[in-house]
Each structure stands twice: as structure tokens, then as C-alpha cells.
Amino acid sequence: MDIKDELLFWTSIMRDHANFQVNALAPKEQTFIENSTYFMDFFAKINLEIKDSDSLKMIYPKLLHGLQCFIGYKRVILKNLLTCNIAINLTPSNISHQINEANLFMMVLSAPDHKNNQIPTMLYVEQLKLWITDCAGHGAIMAAFLEPAEEMYIQQALNYKMIFEKLTIKASELQMMLMQTGLEDGILLQLSQEAKQQISDFTCFCELIMKLREECKVMAIGTFTPLVPNHFIREQRHWISKIEEYK
């Protein structure tokens, strides 16, 4: 993927994270609402700057600093969640996944000139685990946000969550075996294909849920707007593209 497209993708994801925070925060959390709104506007504006720029060098320092601050801010939210000191309709794992994704973005910013190089096997497996775990989190969020009467869709979301959790275990075991043997054989490629297929299938499910929410044909909590499954879809398509890049 071209570095410009990569930055456009990640800045849109960070913008969404801040948007989700704003929508989930209780009205009394005015300071947090203001901070999340700031980051939402920051990443929206810098996304537009990247679209219109022919040279990204001038944007990098501002983007890097903004991302570092956003990661620190997410950690503050997580700490407050774990100590029951913030009223926000997001779980600790939701914020933890947001931090993981921001750290993946930081890796892109830290090595923009290495985009065409072959990623080391161990780093690829570590990232593959994060992508799979992220998909499991998407399934959990979808199941939690849907109306309990939507049992069929909830069970489908939970089934995907279970599949991705099992794939995460397999990836962790394989990572240890590769570290112990130094092999880079077809088992890893097979795992990649399994992950790609399951992510692709889950993305189709997310597209269905997004369409149903757009048409108000599936019940859910009010903050489960079409942007939520749309966000999942964009991330999962990105994970698929990264899997396809690894040879």
C-alpha cells in the first residue's frame, strides 16, 4: 500500500476512535468530551491535509506528535476505566484495542521508508495476532451493542468472536514453535489463509449489519450507528491487504 493511502487510512481510524469516545462519554465528563473532540478534529483536519499534499515531510512531525498525545490520552481513559473513575459506554478492552491500533500506526510513522521491504516473520506473526484479536473484539462489540431480541445476529457475531479467539491461540502457539525452530514453512502461510478467509467472511457479515442499521432494520443501542460497522469493515479490509502483502 502506498504510504499516502496508509496515512489516510490510519488518520481516519484515529478520527473514528475519538468520535466513538465522544459519543460514549456521559455528559458530566465535560473535560474528556472536550479532549476527545479535539483529537477528532485534529485527525479529521490532518486527513484532509494529507489528501491535498504532494509532500508529506512537513506533515510528519505534527502527525507524530498528535498521535503520541492521543496514545497517552487513551491510556488515561483506560486507567480511569480500570479504577471506575470515568463514565463512558466503552469497555476497557475497547480502549485497549484502540491503543493497540494507535501503536500499529506509530510503527508506520516510525518506518515510512520501509513500506516495500519484506516484514520479518516474527513481526508479521505478532501483527497477525493483533489483527485477529481486533476482529474478535469487533464481534464482541457488535454482540454487546445489538438489541437482545436480535438473537440471530448476536449469535453470529459471537460465533465469529469465538473463531478469532481460537485463531489467536493457534497463532500464539505457532509463534512459539517458529521461535524455537527458526522454520518459516507452509504452516504460517496456511494460518494466514485461514485468517484471511475468516476476516473476509466476517467483513461480509459486518456489511450486512451496516446496511440493516442504515435502513433501521436491526435494533441496537443508539450509539451503534452505521459508522461502527463501517469502521470495522475498513480495518478488516486493511488487515486482509496486509496478509496478502506477506509472502
pLDDT in tens, 69-85: 999 999 999 999 999 99
pLDDT band at 184 (very low <50, low <70, confident <90, very high): low
Q: Which one of 97, 113, 129 terminates a domain?
A: 113
Domain boundary pick from 94, 113, 132: 113
pLDDT at 185 over 90: no
The last residue of a domain, from among 47, 81, 113 = 113
> Given this model, what pLDDT does residue 213 score?
97
What's the per-residue H, E or C state across 49-87?
Answer: HHHHCCCCCCCHHHHHHHHHHHHHHHHHHHHHHHCCCCC
Average pLDDT over residues 242-247: 85
pTM, full prediction: 0.90
* Same domain flag for 128 and 211: yes
Structural domain containing residue 20 = 1-113
Q: What is the pLDDT of residue 181?
A: 86
The CATH number linked to 122 is 1.20.1260.120
